[in-house]
Amino acid sequence: MKKNSFLPLIASALVLIPLMFSHSCANTTQAPTGGKKDSIPPLIVNIEPLPGVLNFPLEKGKIVFTFNEYVKTDKAQSIFLSPPQAKRPKSRIKGKSLIVEFEEPLSPNTTYTLDLNDAVSDNNENNKFPGFTFVFSTGDTIDTLFTTGVVLDCNTLAPVEGATVMLYSDHADSAIFLRRPDVAARTDKWGYFVLPYLRDTAYRLYAVQDASSNNIYDPEEDLIAFSDSLMQPVWAVGDTIPELLKYDMTDTLGCEARRVAHTLLLFREKPTQQYIKNKARTGLRSAYVSFHAPYAWIDSLWFGGFRAEEVISQFNTTQDSLELWLNSREDFPDTLHLFMNYRRTDSLGILTPKLEHLKLPLEPDLKKKYSRRNRRNLEHEDTVCVFKLTASGDRIEQYGFELEFKSPIIYENFDSLVFRNLNPKQKEAFGTFTVTRDSTNLRRYTIMPNEELQKGYEYFLKVPQGAFRDIDGFYSDSTEVKVSLPTDETLSTLSAVFTGVDGKYIVDLLDEKMSGTIRSFVINSDRTLVFPYLKEGRYCLRITSDINENSVVDTGNLLEHRQPELVKFVLFSGDKFLNMPKSTELEQQIDIKAMFGNE
Nearest C-alpha neighbor of 552 from the set 368, 328, 260, 294: 294
Contacts of 208 (CB under 8 A, 6+ apart): 163, 164, 166, 176, 215, 217, 222, 223, 224, 225
Q: Is residue 544 part of a domain?
A: yes
Count the domains in the chain: 4
Given 142, 176, 192, which residue is the final one in a domain? Answer: 142
Are 82 and 185 within 8 A, CB to CB? yes
Given 461, 483, 505, which residue is the final one in a domain? Answer: 483
Q: Are residues 285 and 388 in the same domain?
A: no
Q: Is residue 161 part of a domain?
A: no
CATH number of the domain bearing residue 558: 2.60.40.10
Given 429, 454, 483, which residue is the final one in a domain? Answer: 483
**Using CA atoms, how far apart are residues 486 and 449, in angstroms rounded to an integer?**
17
Q: Are residues 132 and 15 in the same domain?
A: yes
Q: Please give the model's pTM, rounded to 2 decimal places.
A: 0.84
Q: Are residues 370 and 385 in the same domain?
A: no
Q: Are residues 462 and 587 in the same domain?
A: no
Nearest C-alpha neighbor of 189 from the set 218, 150, 146: 150
Cis status, amide bond into 159, omega within 30 of 0: no
CATH number of the domain bearing residue 28: 2.60.40.3710
Task: Residue 578: count other Cβ atoms within 10 Å of its Cβ.
Answer: 21
**Using CA atoms, how far apart are residues 281 and 367, in angstroms rounded to an integer?**
11
Q: Are residues 388 and 455 in the same domain?
A: yes
3-class SS at 489? coil
Amino acid at 198: L
Nearest C-alpha neighbor of 266 from the set 156, 115, 174: 156
Q: Are residues 560 and 585 in the same domain?
A: yes
Residue 36: what pLDDT?
63
Q: Are residues 453 and 541 in the same domain?
A: no
Task: Residue 191: count other Cβ atoms within 10 Å of its Cβ.
Answer: 23
Q: Is residue 295 part of a domain?
A: yes
Q: Is residue 414 part of a domain?
A: yes
Q: Are residues 368 and 386 in the same domain?
A: no
Q: Are residues 496 and 524 in the same domain?
A: yes
Q: Is residue 105 part of a domain?
A: yes
Handedness of CA 176, 178, 182, 183 (dihedral sign): positive
Q: Are residues 499 and 474 in the same domain?
A: no
**Chain-centre distance for alpha carbon 154:** 7
321-326 vs 335-345, strand pairing mode: unpaired
Residue 373: what pLDDT?
54
Q: Are residues 363 and 400 in the same domain?
A: no
Contacts of 111 (CB under 8 A, 6+ apart): 135, 136, 137, 139, 141, 142, 143, 197, 199
pLDDT-flagged residues of the chain (< 70): 1-38, 372-378, 598-599
**Using CA atoms, how far apart are residues 598 and 595, in angstroms rounded to an integer?**
9
CATH number of the domain bearing residue 466: 2.60.40.1220
Q: Is residue 221 part of a domain?
A: no
3-class SS at 255? helix
**Whole domain around residue 332: which residue ranges?**
276-376
492-499 vs 585-591, strand pairing mode: parallel
Q: Are residues 95 and 39 in the same domain?
A: yes
Q: Is residue 320 part of a domain?
A: yes
Q: Is residue 266 part of a domain?
A: no
